[in-house]
Structure 1
Amino acid sequence: MPEENSLLLKEIINRDRLAHIAQETAAISSGFDAARFKALAMENLDGLAIMQRIRRVATSLHLTLPGSYADNVDVLCALAPRINHSFASIALAEYVALYGQDHFDLSMKALRFLTRFGSAEFAVRPFLARDLERTLTVMEGWARDENEHVRRLASEGSRPRLPWSFQLKELVVDPQPVACILEALKSDPSLYVRKSVANHLNDITKNHPGWVLERLAQWPMDNPHTKWIARHALRTLIKKGDRGALAVIGAGGRTQVRIANFAIVPSGITLGERIALNASIISTSDQPQRLVVDYAIHYVKKSGMPSRKVFKLKEMDLTPADTRELSASQLIRDFTTRKHYAGHHRVELVVNGEVLAESGFELTI
């Protein structure tokens, strides 16, 4: 995540929000110590990142709610609809993750409810780590729930490589235990759910591309929801030019095209300026072709060696003798995740996984 977005995100849990949570909790629980909650939750707040603030809310609730775990879960469920930001509500599910490990059935019921107000994707993972089989059995039921937030939790919570959370090592090694969940959601009507399923499958392609391709080969690609999931699930493999992945989306054949006038302009820039990519793609086939067109920049690293990154450009159906104009624009500037270095940056035009043209630009820092 870019640093500036991270700074904005952590302000979701600011002093005003904490005061709001204290006020709403006090309205539900007469024994709640609102003043102590605010003091605990706001201590050294400025130095805490967003997920640290989420956990701070949960631990502060634990120290200031008067009841047993079961009683406090009732308070949290009553509190969830009253919190005025869905991301802040994640703290309620975090409470369940921290203090509900010995109350499995009650905790699963609570997470199913709380995820409707603030996703429980992070909170369910300690339960998966502790007892994978038992937790996945519950989540298989969630995958068939009438509520899209609960169905999404079944997929998102069990992702092997969920961002901002720890990896589920057992599922990294073997994804088969989640097959029933993914199968149940393969044509989900909710885009919110489909995005999660696609991301889940994309996670799996990092270690088990064959497993994903074999499964997708059995799914009904005449269903537009399933086809959407497959296309987005295979994005990493498609960028790598994987023939099996390209075949799933109808672009597995060798291309019969000619590239003309491929150029990067300007040919020299300084950091913070923009480059433009231009080319013409011309069919040399007597048959229609499905094409996935990407471009790759070979960034110069500190060592002077290149580091290749592929960017999406366009997908198209090219008819015989057809010509299409291609263009793209990209700002070359530093990010938290990428620092640029001076030198020649090679740029490739990639069609269905094949490099068909090369150009480049010189970067001055």
Structure 2
Amino acid sequence: MSTDAVPALKNIFDKARFRHIAAEVVAVYPRFDSKQFLALALPGLDDLSLMQRLRRTSECLHATLPANYKQALAILRKLAPRINSGFVTLVLPDFVGLYGRDDFDTSMEALKFFTAFGSSEFAIREFIRQDPERTLAMMKAWAKDESEHVRRLASEGSRPRLPWSFRLDALMADPDLAAPILDALRADSSLYVRKSVANHLNDITKLHPDWVLGRLKSWPLENPHTAWIARHALRTLIKQGNRQALGVIGAGKKAAVGITGLSIIPKKLTLGERMALSFTLQSTSRQSQRLVVDYAVHYVKKSGSSSAKVFKLKELTLAAGESVRLSRSQIVRDFTTRVHHAGRHAVDIMVNGECLASGHFDLAKA
């Protein structure tokens, strides 16, 4: 494994990138004051986060482009295909979200155009928050657009809990507001769009699980695209062992199986080492059965208590009397979202939401 430091994500917006943006604006708008743009953009750059750098870019463009909003947008439209990073193009819809809220029609047209280059998912939320009825009506129309980028924007931009953005309180309180968008996309041919619909629904399960379950049951789950969305939308509830969610994917019945030969090795490990588990799943049923097999690791907390995290292992159909050997391994290492502590870590094997076997490993201090 390389010991080289991984470049910080915020360095997508480094000095070279700002110079690139300045040069490309000059190429489409020769009167652009690139020196002033860089003088505003570069000071104190090292202290800014990724999203702060993105916002600074929008603000500096606003300070150096024509003051007339429509004239500035015309220049940014020409700039869009010239930017050498998909993520950096998020600056363009961000500009719209900051400075175009008083010109709804022009801004909607711009966001629809810009989303194909990166995504307008963050910027559209400014308009949902300001005028939810009008904006969601526009997004409902986008859900039927021929472009998968525009259809995805309809779903992704209206997610109640979109990562890296503020939460949409109105949609968190009432998921019916965005329901027409989700209904229009429930069997979309694009995986790019289906992933967004599933993530949107998974957001809603955090507050309104019964709403999601009821909606999915009314959808044509015999359609493979719709079934895919349902399975991924319910992933949080399935990990929690929710019987109704398991039932939607055909695994709602109590599993008629036994588990033998559970092995968790090594029994003692240190941070950075790999833990491997394996076991045999034996059917005790006279019929085939749909099974969802997960495992939960009870991570020791600093206080000495523990908190379980469920990991997907396998979904399968087990024939009558059939047995299968399952295995999985993972490296035990720290993440920004999880720091490990020494102690005994219990491991549970879950089948259709029920714990059928348990073991453990001991994590020692490095």
Do the two structures share a fold, i.e. TM-score over 0.5? yes
Report the Cα offset of residue 5 of structure 1: 10
Structure 1 counterpart of 2:166:
166
SS of the residue aligned with 1:144?
coil
- Asked if structure 2 preserves the Cα contact closer than 8 Å seen for 1:347 and 1:360, the reply is yes
* Aligned match of 1:94: 94
Amino acid corresponding to residue 41 of structure 1 in structure 2: A
SS in 2 for 1:119: coil
Give, in angstroms, the shift of residue 6 of structure 1: 8.8
Q: Are residues 1:312 and 2:312 paired? A: yes
Q: For the residues of structure 1 that align with 2:358 and 2:333, how far apart are their CA atoms?
A: 22
The CA deviation at 1:119 is 0.4
- The 8 Å contact of residues 263 and 278 in structure 1, kept in 2 or not, is answered as yes
Distance 2:96 2:336 in 1: 33
Aligned partner of 1:267 in structure 2 is: 267
**Corresponding letter in the other structure for 2:142:** W
Q: CA deviation at 1:272?
A: 1.4
Aligned ranges 1:276-355 → 2 under 5 Å: 276-355=276-355
CA-to-partner distance for each residue in 1:148-192, whole Å, 9 max, x for gaps?
Answer: 111100000000000000000111111001000000000111111
Amino acid across the alignment from 2:209: P
Q: Is the contact between residue 31 and residue 65 of structure 1 (CA under 8 Å) also seen in structure 2?
A: no
Pairwise CA distance, 1:30: 2.8
> What's 2:66 paired with?
66
Secondary structure of the 1:11 match is helix
Note the C-alpha offset of 1:39.
Answer: 1.9
TM-score (norm 2): 0.97
Q: Show CA shifts across 1:296-344 (max 9, x none).
A: 0000101111101000001111001111001010111111111111111
| Partner secondary structure for residue 88 of structure 2 | coil
Match of 1:222 in 2: 222
Q: Is 1:76 aligned to residue 73 of structure 2?
A: no
2:26 corresponds in structure 1 to: 26
- Aligned counterparts of 2:225 and 2:15: Cα–Cα separation in 1: 42
CA distance in structure 2 between the partners assigned to 1:214 and 1:256 by the alignment: 27
Shift of 1:107: 0.6
CA contact (8 A) 1:31 1:66 kept: no
How far apart are the structure 2 equivalents of 1:250 and 1:209? 18
CA contact (8 A) 1:267 1:362 kept: yes
Percent same amino acid among aligned pairs? 58
- 1:52 aligns with 52
Q: Compute the displacement of 1:221 (Å).
A: 1.3
Match of 2:329, as an amino acid? Answer: S
- What secondary structure is seen at the aligned counterpart in 1 of 2:276? strand
Letter of the 2:65 partner, please give it.
L
- In 2, the alpha carbon distance for the partners of 1:324 and 1:9 equals 42
In structure 1, the gaps of 5 or more residues are none
Give, in angstroms, the shift of residue 31 of structure 1: 2.6
- What amino acid is the match of 1:306? S
Which has the larger displacement, 289-298 or 268-277?
A: 268-277
- Deviations along 1:69-100, whole A, 9 cap, x unmatched? 11101111111111111100000110001111
Does structure 2 retain, via aligned residues, the 8 Å contact 1:199–1:233?
Answer: yes
Which amino acid is the alignment partner of residue 111 of structure 2? L
What are the residue-to-residue correspondences of 1:100-111 with 2, within 5 Å?
100-111=100-111
SS at the partner of 1:59? Answer: helix
Could you say which residue in structure 1 is the equivalent of 2:357?
357
| RMSD (Å) for aligned C-alpha atoms | 1.3
Structure 1 ranges of 4+ moved more than 4 A = 4-7
What is the CA-CA distance between 1:29 and the residue it aligns to?
1.6
Q: 1:5 to 1:310 in 2, by over 3 A?
A: farther
Q: CA deviation at 1:235?
A: 0.3
Q: Distance in 2 between matches of 1:227 and 1:19?
A: 47
Q: Find the counterpart in structure 2 of residue 115 from structure 1.
A: 115
- The one-letter amino acid paired with 2:224 is P
Q: Please give the secondary structure, in 2, of the residue aligned with 1:296.
A: strand
Q: Is the 8 A contact 1:269 1:364 kept in 2?
A: yes
Amino acid at match of 1:314: K
* 1:13 aligned partner: 13
Secondary structure at the residue paired with 1:21? helix
5+ residue gaps, structure 2 = none
| Structure-2 change in CA distance of 1:228 and 1:18 (3 Å) | same
**2: CA distance, partners of 1:5 / 1:66:** 41
Which position in structure 2 is the counterpart of 1:140?
140
User: 1:99-144 deviations in whole A, cap 9, x for unaligned?
Assistant: 1111111111100000011201001111111111111011111111
C-alpha spacing 1:46/1:330, structure 2 compared with 1 (3 Å): same
Supply the AA of the counterpart residue of 2:39: A
